Amino acid sequence: MGSRIAVTLCGHTARRCVVAREQYLHAIRRSGAEPIAVDPSDALPEEFDGLCLTGGGDIDPARYDEVNTASLDIDDARDTIELALLERALARDIPVLGICRGLQLINVRFGGSLEQHHLGHSPKYPPEGAPVSDDPAGADAVRHVIAPDPGSKLAAACGNETFAVNSSHHQVVTPDRLASELRATGRVDELIEALESPAHRWVVAVQWHPERTAQVAAAATRIFDAFVAEVKRTPVTAA
């Protein structure tokens, strides 16, 4: 059996969620692994060799001991299943890739927190005075340039040169909200756009959406190849 990667999804039937679902699953297949789609209502998969935590709605602020001041589209079932999968992966040192919400979930699991609303990193929430996007497919995106920290797993995956990425999030990890056990490996101004866990074999997360290949530089998409390569390097099974 080939390497199997659990891919968490929003489970909604809205067009944007359906498109995103196919993009995530295609990215895993393109990199040479077999995706296992996991919706919030599904049972935990019995076996998987890697875990990909994807984008979606906001995490319940109660998960990081704060009241809800600006969090939207909270799905408690999704929070629950993703945290359970993450615990299982960490316990067995299975490679984990976090994308957008996935980065935020990893930070929360390790004891960090989130700024619940930040302007300028989503077309829906532009800087003060800028027009708001109403694109229902989420095709629009804010662009940033990332410089991976030298020696990081991000740099090993994507290269040491700067590259362009997309952005469509309104919640952020700031330096003071970063979990103490995690290392920031990419930034946009003061905001953390990539992180990793030094204590684990391969736990890497990015705030952008590398599955949207038309919106990012080729270097940004290589995170999937690096993730799958690590899964295949020493395959393990979670049960």
Q: What is the pLDDT of residues 217-233, one digit of tens each?
A: 999 999 999 999 999 99
DSSP structure string for 169-216: -S-BB-GGGS-TT-EEEEEETTEEEEEE-TTSSSEEEESS-TT-GGGS
The pTM (predicted TM-score) of the whole model is: 0.92
Q: Is 211 a catalytic residue?
A: yes
Catalytic site residue from 82, 193, 196, 211: 211
Residue 114 confidence (pLDDT) above 80: yes
Among the listed residues 82, 100, 144, 196, the single catalytic one is: 100
Task: Sheet containing 34-38: give its strands across.
Answer: 34-38, 4-8, 50-53, 96-99, 203-206, 191-196, 183-188
For 120-170, the pLDDT digits (tens) are 787 787 676 444 444 444 456 889 999 999 999 999 999 999 999 999 889
The predicted pLDDT at position 169 comes to 84
Domain ranges of the chain: 4-233
Q: How much of the chain exceeds pLDDT 90, in percent?
A: 80
φ, ψ at 71 (rounded to 5°): -80, 140
Backbone phi and psi for residue 115, each to the nearest 5 degrees, phi listed first: -80, 120
- What pLDDT score does 235 carry? 56
pLDDT at 34: 97
Per-residue pLDDT, averaged over 38-42, amounts to 97
- Through-space distance between the first and last CA atoms of the chain, rounded to whole angstroms: 15
Query: Which of 144, 169, 170, 209 is labelled catalytic?
Result: 209
Confidence (pLDDT) at 138: 45
Given the candidates 3.40.50.880, 3.40.720.10, 1.20.1250.20, 3.20.20.105, the CATH classification of the domain at 4-233 is 3.40.50.880
Q: Under 8 Å CB-to-CB from 66, ≥6 apart: which residues? A: 113, 116
